[in-house]
Chains A and B, each alone.
Chain A
């Protein structure tokens, strides 16, 4: 298809992009303590900085339809099956590369300040560097299995970082949940890979290379493709926290805030979107899968937005908002608009990272307080944080001329022009909800009267420059990144020209009449405006209309507990499974299976208990037996004659 027309060039530089963070990680593992907390952090940040520089250089070198390739060695070879450890960079990867290293670098810098007083700082940077390595592996791997390696690797880092403050068992439980739910998704992913490999293998093709696969897709039957893509999508559902596997993401907020920003907003959770885009040649010919993806994406977007409205934890709101935004991306994927999905991924990385880091700044200032009901009026205390937060909130709400506006609008317009009006409607309503809950948060935290607890109040301080500078950079990005993908009626999309070749012309932006497009945009903007107004009316002035959780009732209570999904899973899956396991471990295994084994022994023992009565210990009794046997032998002998 498309990949064959692109030029492939070898660039040995590529390997160093992921390897440098890995080296820094290794150095910190062995010498981190000796180097001291500060040096270790600086080293880690510098490593990511170097990767960023390299990524920029590669980006600059990369021609529009070109692919850079770097083979290290053959990783696994078994029979005809063969997978290389090799990296590739094309336009799509280049964007992901910049997101990962760029935002990763900023968050490393930020962490230098945020984690300054933490005992486990070295450990934190080890994990963070390891994460960058795996994330780069994920985006740069030139085959599906390497992608999977990165995929699992970032899951590991997510587990480690969510449970970073291990003293509190709750954090570790959240980490476990994240890892295990992801594993459930990965089960689908790996089965999808198996199905792909074996089906192609049956035709004599053994490959998982992204460069090779598109050529052979036509060998597969539509049903097989549908099954493969559905299985792969299960993996994406797990990693990108879609319905029904989203439950881990809100809990994952137990990790340090920079982690939430980097892993659970900007990069790792978007891996599912990246994967579907990377495998667009498989997904595109699977309409059934696509429609499921679209429905799940839209449902997740809406559902998570409703839950976000009721949350009181500053990070939980952002977490649900992330789930919701990821839903948008999958909505885009589902209608075949891969380019739009990646575009939203790109802009979302900036404003969501900015929001998380901003919330981190707030939490930092308030000595770890995360409950928005105990905030309010922080505008004057934290001016830089406030202004960056405002910009990012505008962006995520989709206020015109911010990044979020362009990317979200692109998705909605694609949905509309694709003819999926229901999906479009859900998207638009969700946009309104997004505006509402984000501004609700903004007002609750920064406006109104202060509800900060008295003992914290004297310590409120603006964060140091090492934290605010990344905020400012990200805030700038939250506006201007969107301008790359402006619609045709403005100045046209630089983005499409860059990314579209990767996806081929087949599913490019479908351009309807410009007037319709503007009209659709206006509808969205209007609904967003309503959302903002409602939030303003309800929360801006005083911020006092905050219902305590105990008094929550009705729909509010449903939303606050996110529809009791966790409890539902607990009831239908976790507890029955635990009970079965318990029965197996405590009844079945020791009593039935081992009982059978020991039963055989007991039967033998029973026989010998009877039989041993013959052993009286009396020699003369034994002699009787001896005699009897001798007689028997003699008589036998006589009968033979």
Chain B
């Protein structure tokens, strides 16, 4: 690829960024124009990502559409992007959810220009983190995402927005700093062995460190990702951030940002430090399963609709972690599938929360009840999405959960059985929520004037629900594209078991060009 041509992936990163710049040129009084322009740019990114999907070679597990541009040669830092079957769908999920999130931002009244600007910058940040193949580049995108999210929560959030935004940023930052240290250590370690300083992920994969060294590095990466996921004891930022964030912010947070953590495990922590990952797997599986049950139990007792959905995320992401650390094909594939499913179904749930919040300005479940009578369409959507979230077969959630549990069962039947109990708990709190929200008598007089979904809101939900159905009924197009990449990842783990351990100035591992 030529040094100057803008590649497929770079273009997808650029589109939202250009959109953000264009927004700056539009006067702030032009509300409709601002919204329309940002919607168009996010749609353009989506359309372009669909072309990517089309051009993607399903049989190839390697990185595709790779672009390399030297950036800071003195430090071996390069701009390397590329996607494989794992990141492809996360990129698609991002570009799919963003237009919907912008569409859901129509009711935002204050500072709409800045709001949309941050949304588009956020999109670039997230996409960048998913496609970056240079650890340094990845770290930059990882941190860049925080900034717009901080403002989205802190400016357009609810009553305790400052607290939530600060907690979110500081907590995430605390974890990622350790990761930065580990990244630098890893690169210098590679330089010791191979005489080349590089942050190129694909080359760093070839470094086989002794187990105790791996363990420390793994823990540094894992802490950062575990906070983002969030894994059980690190989850408390999530309910605060989700509840206080504006609707679109919650959707992006739950739909995409959390996936950053699980994606990080799969892309970085596990293949870079396979021995440590294997050694730590029991601990992480235990935490994941505790998270599943714990998140469900806590979600059940929430009086706040949004908080309930937030805690349900803790539970669902526990499933993803369980699948990833089963370290077999079914588990990992299920984990990726569950990431996408969760992005859709929980994203849709947050959209729905936002829709009734826009009408009634309350999220307390007890303030509702019997909504079916006034808002049948809303209720039907809520019903479908809830059941997708519960993991009803025929909807997307089932495929992921099934594969995860299947994969995990062969590794650790006991924990898997406990995790499967989480499915029951999921049904309990979700159905309870449905009962209190849309069923029963319409007791509150304020609710008698509620109007059903508008065309705009239908336009948000319909694509998600369609995808929920498609992914449940015909998952093969997704699974078949993931499979080669997952195979490759697993192969990396297996080969590194046998590979000789690197020593300083050792001869193991062939020298490769630094991509320049």
The residues of A with any CB-CB pair to B shorter than 8 Å are: 73-79, 81, 145, 148-149, 152-153, 156, 159, 163, 166-169, 171-173, 175-176, 179-180, 183-184, 186-187, 190-191, 194-195, 197-198, 201-202, 577-578, 580-582, 584-586, 589, 593-594, 596-597, 601
Contact = CB atoms under 8 A, between A and B. Distances in A.
Contact of B392 (A78, A153, A168): A153
27 contacts: A76-B399, A76-B402, A76-B475, A77-B479, A79-B328, A79-B329, A156-B387, A159-B431, A166-B370, A166-B439, A167-B373, A167-B442, A169-B439, A169-B440, A176-B431, A176-B432, A179-B431, A180-B428, A183-B423, A183-B424, A184-B424, A186-B423, A187-B421, A202-B410, A581-B297, A581-B300, A584-B297
A201 B373 CA distance: 50
Interface in B346-375: 370, 372-373
A166 B294 contact: no
Contact of B427 (A179, A202, A577, A596): A179
A78 B483 contact: yes
A582 B435 contact: no
Nearest to A595: B236
Contact of A166 (B416, B438, B474): B438
A585 B297 contact: yes
Contacts of A77: 476, 479-480, 483
Contacts of A74: 476
B409 interface: yes
Kindly list the 3 A-B residue pairs having the minimum CB-CB distance in the complex, ordered from nearest: A585-B301, A79-B329, A149-B393
Contacts of A175: 431
Contacts of B475: 75-76
B60 interface: no
A11 B95 CA distance: 42
Contact of B413 (A149, A153, A159, A195): A195
B318 interface: no
Interface string B57-99: 0000000000000000000000000000000000000000000
Contacts of B302: 585
A91 B393 CA distance: 26
Interface string B427-453: 110011011001111100000000000
A81 B420 contact: no
A586 B399 CA distance: 33
A113 B440 CA distance: 26
A596 B421 CA distance: 28
Contact of B301 (A75, A152, A169, A581): A581
A129 B133 CA distance: 50
Contacts, number: 145
Given A585-B300, A597-B236, A180 B417 contact: no
B400 to A, nearest CB: 10
B333 interface: yes
Nearest to A193: B406
B439 A172 contact: yes
Contact of B440 (A145, A172, A201, A594): A172
Contact of A190 (B328, B372, B420, B474): B420
Contacts of A597: 167, 171, 236-237
Interface residues on B, range: 35 or more
Given A76-B479, A156-B392, A198 B370 contact: no
Contacts of A580: 297
Given A78-B333, A166-B372, A581-B300, A183 B406 contact: no
A584 B428 contact: no
Nearest to A601: B170
B313 interface: no
Most buried by A among B237, B330, B370, B387: B330
B393 A194 contact: no
A78 B403 contact: yes
Interface string B373-405: 100000000000001000011100011001101
B334 interface: yes
A584 B440 contact: no
Contact of A78 (B300, B330, B373, B420): B330
B140 interface: no
A187 B393 contact: no
A601 B123 CA distance: 30
B373 A153 contact: no
A466 B122 CA distance: 61
B233 interface: yes
B372 A76 contact: no
Contacts of B328: 79
A156 B386 CA distance: 12
B298 interface: yes
Contacts of B417: 187, 191
Contacts of A183: 423-424, 427
Nearest to B387: A156
Nearest to B482: A78
Contacts of B413: 194-195
A471 to B, nearest CB: 32
A549 to B, nearest CB: 25
B406 A194 contact: yes
Contact of A582 (B235, B301, B334, B409): B301
A163 B416 CA distance: 32
B424 A187 contact: yes
A195 B423 CA distance: 17
Contacts of B297: 577, 580-581, 584-585
A73 B420 contact: no
A197 B399 CA distance: 16
Contact of A198 (B334, B372, B406): B406
Interface string B236-262: 110000000000000000000000000
Contacts of A585: 297-298, 300-302
Contact of B298 (A172, A173, A198, A589): A589
B428 A152 contact: no
B453 to A, nearest CB: 15
B311 to A, nearest CB: 8
Contacts of B428: 176, 180
A163 B439 contact: yes
Contacts of B392: 152-153, 156
Contacts of A593: 233, 235-236
A261 B229 CA distance: 47
Contacts of A601: 170
Contacts of B424: 180, 183-184, 187
Given A77-B480, A601-B170, A180 B427 contact: yes
A190 B330 contact: no
A141 to B, nearest CB: 11
B301 A81 contact: no
A149 B391 CA distance: 11
Most buried by B among A74, A191, A194: A194
A149 B401 CA distance: 13
Contacts of B441: 167-169
A201 B410 contact: yes
B411 to A, nearest CB: 9
A585 B425 CA distance: 14
Contacts of B483: 77-79
Most buried by B among A202, A584, A596: A584
A79 B410 CA distance: 14
A550 B294 CA distance: 42
A488 B392 CA distance: 46
Contacts of B409: 191, 194-195, 197-198
Contact of B394 (A153, A180, A197, A577): A153
Nearest to B410: A198
A75 B396 CA distance: 12
Contact of B370 (A167, A173, A586, A596): A167
A594 B393 CA distance: 35
A175 B428 CA distance: 11
Contacts of A194: 405-406, 409-410, 413, 416
Contacts of A176: 428, 431-432, 435
B431 A78 contact: no
Contacts of A76: 399, 402-403, 475-476, 479
